[in-house]
Structure 1
């Protein structure tokens, strides 16, 4: 075994909360489930791959052969011959995917929890040697469909001066479920009256979020009952759970919850929204702990500790704590609770796939509560990369067995024993150059896995009976299967680190990496062609004379180009380029071209129109918003890349109001170098909203949306200042000054100041070429409220800003403030 080097005292802060799963109430035990049959896969020289193990009910059944089929040639067509049989029977159609692969597509979703055996008649596909077995047997299991309902604590909101509760949560399914059926699973009741449940218009994987609004607060304590029934989706899971709704006039503690990861805090919930103007120091305490930080979120108070804690503590709440109506608690409250443990987990520090280096190829990850991990490496060979890219992006794993082979597996030590375990996230690094012979001409798939035996989670006195019972999930090969389930896996125990069911494929992490110093950027499209820019990732210098091979989707070489002194090369668009392979000696880099692989522009205004017949148009106005009765001065610029714009070429504009009624039509037959100027009048009685102007030039039409609104001007001038340019740990002095624009004093107005904290590059003028940031740490942006109160009689307010202890920040932090009055 190898000992990994630990990057000491590195912890990562991200805005993701531990999800506490509430197990569903089963109407049946695992023993009553139909047991899956042992997976059967016969060996045959003709077979490379056949569907096996656990699959989704929506999956297709695929078989890939080691050679091209001899007796069937209609590639891509329907196979009419009776070649494959299933037990139980599956109705569907068999297709020829390519000369060496077939795919069976069921007519309907497969039955969850069912085990299928299949027999393929090879004699109808190949000319078999004498004595060769004609029947190829294989089997597979369909995931059992299980349901987990996880409600959160009730939230409080005010509507029409009345307080209501809302309740949100998630419904999780063990397999894919149709959205329209999934929303029928859960019902909610208050006093036997069914409550309306809101759902988003989509599901995320097999998870459906829900939200219940308008839960009434009566003058006595009531219950909201959640009931779920899986019969609509073919699941036997059903159950119910009661949620307590506090009485209207009762301000009291309703629950506490300890969140362990990614940062530890105690969530304290109350029946009413908390008065945010209070200083919580001394009102809420944790026994034996000081320097606590607080955050008020409506009816919840988040209490942050200075460092990761464990063991029992007392939560002490002073009765002087008030709600937004000024009502205090009836008495002091003390609740004993226990800081839990962080569940065993691993995660990569970044999602990059390029590993620059030479003597070292470092891959960094973090782990918590683990003594060891297993590292498993597959190599996607260089001569198979094009085949791999046909069905994958760089980080894919589809049909991996066709193009890759396992080249390394070993158990690596992280923490020698429990005594040296701090229960915190720690960073580690793997030097791939020491584990394998990195040839720099392929793609490496690195998997990190762990077993229950590696766990440091304290399970003393916690037995899991299901671990010794038969599982209806088919276990697989730990070292070779991407979707691995351990022996004895049970859905109901998959969140319990004391059960073997916790240690399945969703706990493992995987990424594909390319060891190279060649960086490639491509800009362009299928119409204008592509510009390729290459740079050295170690020196950042352009790479000149770099050979770039361009392939189409059929893996045929289209052209070879070489970069110039600026690292630039131009690629033709004539033959639909698909994949770039850059080569410098033994060093390779790969880049897939296509719209689906381009970087997201969602944060930029890139909207436009497709050029028709070579004509482009740009339309602008003299302002962004007009009032009813204003004259709209609009200009249209026309560009025709094929012809000059005739001086008397006519164009027409039509103006429509928000009700799509035509208000004015205006034609113009004069332009200056393609510039058309229009004056469109509106009436003072016209309706407000988004109007539409349609411009017609020849056979082309262009549109522009226009806003005609009654706008209220900004009436206040807000000035937020600080004593120091750089804010530091501890108290920072700030002052808010507000004036009416007409010069009056903005006295006694309510004001809030919110801050957003983001990481920034740490730099000093004398050391510009140095890096002072800790690359092993990650900081997620944080939003906090630094002031909530009223201005004084002069329209001013001085206050102190004290930030949480951002001990895990990689370097300097940037603050953005939003003031509202």
Structure 2
């Protein structure tokens, strides 16, 4: 039997009866995933006047030339990109100066769009395998008022594009209650036929051992593999992607009843009306069981949780299998969703099952496969200049600190050399330029910001002599640590030991609006008040031997009214005390987003209604038991 080769993903299986059926009417319409950014790819933020002025000054005196005209793939579409030497004037009609003609059909439809760097003109959705002529007139104007010396013309042939369709992933986990659809990639294919198979529970181990991490299924392979699955649904889906654009779409599964049951499925897809030796295929599952495994020297820690709400799942039966499907270890998850299994070199597959659902994890694959993720790191150069600082957020008037190391492509130190550093404001203007020399291999640079420094994103640009761009970014913001004010007001007069204590609360934003509906969180504390009478310095009041006078009381949760006001009241928990006390309220006012400001603290004094020169009144009202010598000294006028 072949070893396991399956993508490291979680799959679920419901051990229920199998359904069969066929449906070729009312083809569901595939949908595009919700866009993460502006739905119009051509929309770009227009630079403001200050940015345009800075770019114009920077390019002043430079000639306008066309550096390159070529076809590139942009957002899945074939795009003609014209690259210029200096930024172009954005407020001009590019169709009057730039022309694109098809030798067979004439003028090409479409609009030129200017890239955010103002140096590229783009025209999207080129037709495949066409001979085009692009021409640029001298009337095209740069931001620095420069124009082309002579007209430009170039003939180019666009690439041929073959229609294609396939699944966007080698395996997908679709939580049953939040499933959006099965992702596919399509290029100039309007309709597809998809067969859905549910793997038989008793054949799961054998099927997985032969699946081998594939993204397609040939005819002869299907004869063997699909014997271990039941055909539950066949349907046609309308894709209709944008012409000549490779798009990611979702096959809707929510309304297909045979696919509502949790389980492990195989989907086999082919363009409608087209049959080939090999067809796109993928493994996917409908499940609410999520599994993560942490491998150690001789054990495997497994954590199970719900994919819908993230809660730990207890009672999950977790099995460890070898490549032949034999059980090596087995246990159930505890109340925290945790399982510990003893592992060995033969461990190949982990299964987690409960109430008909099965999650599987292939242990033979790397812990995380980054091949299907878009990963962009720092560009690699022969000279690596690593810039770092203690922080990247400063206020006007503070000093920016930058450190740097110069290394080769392997991270080894290079011979010391001076490096040019430029401080660039948010508007693109260079306000300082220095040559930095290292000390023991470490470059250090400080720049004091003016008190009126512009806010925004600043840059420190480094040049090591190889004409490669290097920048370190930092923010300059005129921020305030606190944005809210909180006032806690205790009662004006001391209260008796058996009386309730009340604090007034008032909250507001620093710009004047009341903190209406904001949350107050805090805590009450009880503390002894030995210096109860300010007019008698040096006197200590109360029973010195009395214990448990310093303790925590109640938690405080309060919602302020529409005027930003509220009251915190606590009943007496100290009526049997024989010493003067104070109740302390320490509280924070939360912003609307939940962030809290610095805690505020105030206190209410208890048992201090008597006048400073009238000890009997203090004793009676506050139930104080003063030592005899204190009575005598106070009675003697002290």
TM-score by length of 2: 0.43
Q: Per chain length, whose mean CA-contact separation is higher, i.e. which structure has more relative contact order (CA < 8 Å, sep 6+)?
A: 2
